[in-house]
Amino acid sequence: MLGMADYYSTLGVSKDANETDIKKAYRKKAQEHHPDKNPGNKEAEKQFKEVQEAYEVLSDPQKRAGFDRYGAAGAGFAGGGQDFGGGGGGQGGAPGFNPNDFGNFADIFESFFGGNGFGGSQQGGSRKKGPERGRDIETEITIKFEEAVFGTVKHLEVTKPMVCAHCSGKGNEPGTKVSTCSQCNGQGQVRVTRQSLLGSISSVQVCSKCEGRGEIPEKVCSVCKGQTRVKQAEEVEVAIPKGIEGGTTIRVKGRGAAGTFGGEYGDLFLHIHVSPHPKFSREGRTIFSVETLPLLQAVLGASVKIDTIHGKVALKVPAGTQPGAEFTLKGKGAPSLKSDAMGDHLVTIQVKVPEKMTRKEKELYEQLATEAGLEVNKGFGIF
Ligand SMILES: [Zn+2]
Ligand SMILES: [Zn+2]
């Protein structure tokens, strides 16, 4: 985390900058610090990431308001939860989860399994304790730019409590008997009566002998020690829909932790990050790129090939195209989660002024200058 990051100064905009200013500043900074333009430059890489993060926050009115009020933490950076596959709000999805707080997968699981994981919680027992649903698990994945546009299928290994295969999640050693608890007669609870000044008060408590289960195994499972679950790695296949954007969370039903005593599995919440593309950037369905044209093509016009996520596309650049001119390539952008229709590709034209030229070229340029009535340096001094 950037801690005391000031996203405004990262992008070089003022606190009252509007959406357009922020977008422009972001595109400029992202180009400038792009890893491909600064190969092996760690500082540029760091700045590039900071620019990405700053933009992710400042381009989202809600996160920006949070940042204005509380700083980076208030932006709930990377928090925007979206729910797939489940319908309704992701239940138990730990709203404050911040993937940046975790270094890697191992850390994540450590923090989830650290505390009250196994064994189930001790709820004030008014009923016999039955199977309990497993916890939700959260993890994150970084996918390629193209994968986010076109969708992909990912296989991840998730380490989590799984049903113990040895006892099939029953908790007793296979082949041994389970008997009804003698203390509670299989009720899982006992009624305790106390005398007080107001008369006798009776209350129901969880049976201490069977811990509310109503049954006592003759011998607990030798693998899970009666916990019914063991920590294991599972390969999970996740279909990542096309048009997804970084910061989105996918809910994969039933791929969280196993429940206890045959309870259903929790869900897996997968936070999506998208790695930057060397050439393209994206906002929703719009993809952006910058293309550099030789001066003469900008002056005279030309049909040029523009790289898009869908391959090269011919663009007719008119004569007299100015540096910074933008052209729209219809339908060459990205789809969204809601629509298969492709957005547009916006290409910004940069013009490359020749630095080196042949004697002949220089003469021709000098003739042009004379024709235009412009005073210029002549001769070969500037080579
Ligand atoms: Zn009991
Ligand atoms: Zn077992």
- Domain with residue 333: its CATH number is 2.60.260.20
Tens-digit pLDDT profile for residues 273-304: 999 999 999 999 999 999 999 999 999 999 99
In a domain, 242, yes or no: yes
CA distance 105 to 155: 14
Identify whether 236 is part of a domain: yes
Which pLDDT value is given to residue 90? 35
Query: 170 C-alpha vs ligand 2 centroid, how far in Å?
Result: 7
Q: Distance between CA atoms of 223 and 164, rounded to whole angstroms?
A: 7
Q: Clarify whether residues 318 and 348 are in a common domain.
A: yes
| Assigned token pair, 87 | 């319908």
CA–CA dist 135, 115 (Å, integer): 12
CA of 208 to the centre of ligand 1 (A): 6
The predicted structure's pLDDT at residue 111: 34
Give residue 124 CA to ligand 1 midpoint distance, Å.
15
For the residues 191-204, what does the mean pLDDT come to?
Answer: 83
pLDDT value for 196:
79
Same-domain pairing of 135 and 269: yes
| pLDDT of the residue at 353 | 95
Nearest ligand, CA 164 = 2
Beta strand pairing call for 268-274 and 137-143 = parallel
The pLDDT assigned to 52 comes to 83
Q: Is residue 28 part of a domain?
A: yes
Q: Are residues 239 and 157 in the same domain?
A: yes
Strand partners, 375: none
In the reported structure, the alpha carbon of residue 174 is separated from the centroid of ligand 2 by a whole-number distance in angstroms of 8
Domain assignment present for 363: no
Indicate whether 56 and 189 sit together in one domain: no
CB 174 within 8 A of CB 220: no
Are both 9 and 33 inside the same structural domain? Answer: yes
Q: Are residues 203 and 232 in the same domain?
A: no
For the segment 72-99, what is each residue's pLDDT rounded down to a tens digit? Answer: 665 554 333 333 433 333 333 333 334 3
pLDDT at 381: 54
Assigned token pair, 152: 């992909």
E strands, the chain, where? 137-143, 152-163, 178-180, 189-196, 199-206, 215-217, 229-240, 249-252, 268-274, 281-283, 286-294, 302-308, 311-317, 326-329, 345-352
Instruction: Give the per-residue pLDDT at 91.
Output: 34
Residue 72: predicted pLDDT: 65
Task: Give 173 Cα–ligand 2 centroid separation in angstroms.
Answer: 7
pLDDT score, position 380? 60
Centre of ligand 1 from the C-alpha of residue 191, in Å: 11
Would 98 be classed as within a structural domain?
no
Clarify whether residues 127 and 272 are in a common domain.
yes
The C-alpha atoms of residue 344 and residue 223 are separated, in whole angstroms, by 57
User: In Å, what is the CA distance from 3 to each residue of 12, 51, 95, 173, 271?
Assistant: 18, 14, 20, 51, 21
189 and 172 in a common domain: no
Which pLDDT score is estimated for 99? 39
| Structural domain count, the chain | 4
Task: Give the closest ligand to the alpha carbon of residue 219.
Answer: 2
Mean pLDDT across the chain? 83
pLDDT tens readout for residues 7-36? 888 888 888 888 888 888 888 888 888 777
pLDDT at 135 over 90: yes
Give CA separation, 195 vs 125, 198, 200, 204, in Å.
21, 8, 4, 15
The pLDDT, as a whole number, for residue 241 is 95
Is residue 96 in a domain? no
Is-above-0.75 flag for pTM?
no
The residue range of the domain holding 230 is 81-87+107-114+121-177+218-276
Asked if the model's pLDDT at residue 305 lies above 80, the reply is: yes
Minimum-distance ligand to the CA of 260? 2
Q: How far is the CA of 131 from the centre of ligand 1 (A)?
A: 16
pLDDT at 85: 34
Looking at the structure, tell me whether residues 21 and 72 fall in a common domain. yes
pLDDT, tens digit (0-9, with 9 covering 90-100), for 222-277: 999 999 999 999 999 999 999 999 999 999 999 999 999 889 999 999 999 999 99
In a domain, 326, yes or no: yes
Instruction: Look at the block and give the residue holding tokens 């992202």.
Output: 30
User: How far does residue 187's CA lie from ligand 1's centre (Å)?
Assistant: 6
**63 C-alpha to ligand 1 centroid (Å):** 51
* Residue 206 CA to ligand 1 centre (angstroms): 8
Mean pLDDT throughout 112-134?
A: 54
CA distances from 121 to 95, 109, 242, 255 (A): 21, 19, 39, 21
CB 372 within 8 A of CB 363: no
> So what's the pLDDT on residue 207?
92
For residue 141, the model assigns a pLDDT of 96
Alpha-carbon Rg for the chain in angstroms: 31
Cα(221) to ligand 1 centroid in Å equals: 19
35 shares a domain with 69: yes
Q: Does residue 125 form part of some domain? A: yes
Identity of the amino acid at 348: T
My answer on whether 137 and 258 are in the same domain is yes
Per-residue pLDDT at 1? 40
Read off the DSSP letter of residue 380: S
The CATH number given to whatever domain includes residue 71 is: 1.10.287.110
Counting ligands in written order, which one lies closest to the CA of residue 215?
1
- Ligand 2 centroid, distance to 92 Cα (angstroms): 27
> Residue 6: pLDDT above 60?
yes
- 170 and 235 share one domain: yes
pLDDT, tens only, 154-186: 999 999 999 999 999 999 999 999 999 999 999
Of 286, 289, 290, 281, nearest to 343 (Cα)?
286
User: Is residue 65 very low, low, confident or very high in pLDDT (cuts 50, 70, 90)?
Assistant: confident
DSSP 8-state class, residue 251: E
Residue with tokens 């090269």: 312
Q: Give distance in angstroms: CA of 210 to centre of ligand 1.
A: 4
Digit-coded pLDDT (tens) for 308-355: 999 999 999 999 999 999 999 999 999 999 999 999 999 999 999 999
